[in-house]
Amino acid sequence: MFFGLISCNNPTVQLRDVTKELKEEVINLKTVESQKTFLETILEIDQKVRTDSKDALQKYGYESDEVLEANQKMMSVDEENIMKIEQYLEIHGHPTIDKHGKDAAMAPWVVIHHVPECCTIRETNFKYLYEAMKKEDLDDGAFRLYLYRWNKMKFGNEIEWDRPFKPQEDIDTLVKVLNLQKFVTEVDQKLKEEI
């Protein structure tokens, strides 16, 4: 695991080396099949540590050493996975359902959604997820859940509607509340130019 490899003596050097190795690994994902395998593996690992944590909770109880260990492992995996996903998005862009399959296309959202940090990582990767949603490589319900969780983490509340609403209206409202209009404009312009 990336963060498990960092020593107390010189963490900056080791972290930089690991990041360089990771960047090289992601750059070398030259085929769609290698990209798909990379992303699906990340998704499988993400889900496995969550299952292991739930199993430990059920078997040993909330305050057990086993649950603490499972949760620490989950946090370490989440840190490693977000590094991998961010490198992937930066180098290859968001995966598509047509080329990579549904599971691989869902991996970036799942990993970003599980990051416990509120805003920076979510904002940095917003444009990728927004574009994927617009291209139908990410379900709008999943995208809305990402925005809802971000809003809840940032402001401590949820948007509540007192009338029926359309999904796009919900997205537009959350984009405005989270002050993401500039990213939406940038992606929408890019998509227009691609037509």
**Using one digit for the tens of pLDDT, what is the confidence trace for 142-173?**
999 999 999 999 999 988 889 998 999 999 99
Q: Which of helix, strand or coil describes residue 98?
A: helix
Q: Which of helix, strand or coil describes residue 150?
A: helix
Residues 55, 117: contact at Cβ < 8 Å? no
Q: Average pLDDT, stretch 4-30? A: 63
pLDDT given for residue 18 in this prediction: 54
Residues 114, 143: contact at Cβ < 8 Å? no
pLDDT at residue 13 tops 90: no
Q: Which of helix, strand or coil describes residue 21?
A: helix
Residues 151, 159: contact at Cβ < 8 Å? yes
Query: Alpha carbon 158 to chain centroid distance?
Result: 21
Residues 96, 135: contact at Cβ < 8 Å? yes
CA distance 2 to 153: 26
Counting every residue written for the chain, the total comes to 195
CA distance 152 to 4: 30
pLDDT given for residue 89 in this prediction: 97
> Taking Cα atoms as reference points, which of 63, 83, 78 lies closest to residue 21?
83
What type of residue is 12?
T
What type of residue is 129?
L
The model carries a pTM of 0.86
Query: Alpha carbon 119 to chain centroid distance?
Result: 12
| pLDDT tier at 195, thresholds 50, 70, 90 | confident
CA distance 169 to 171: 5
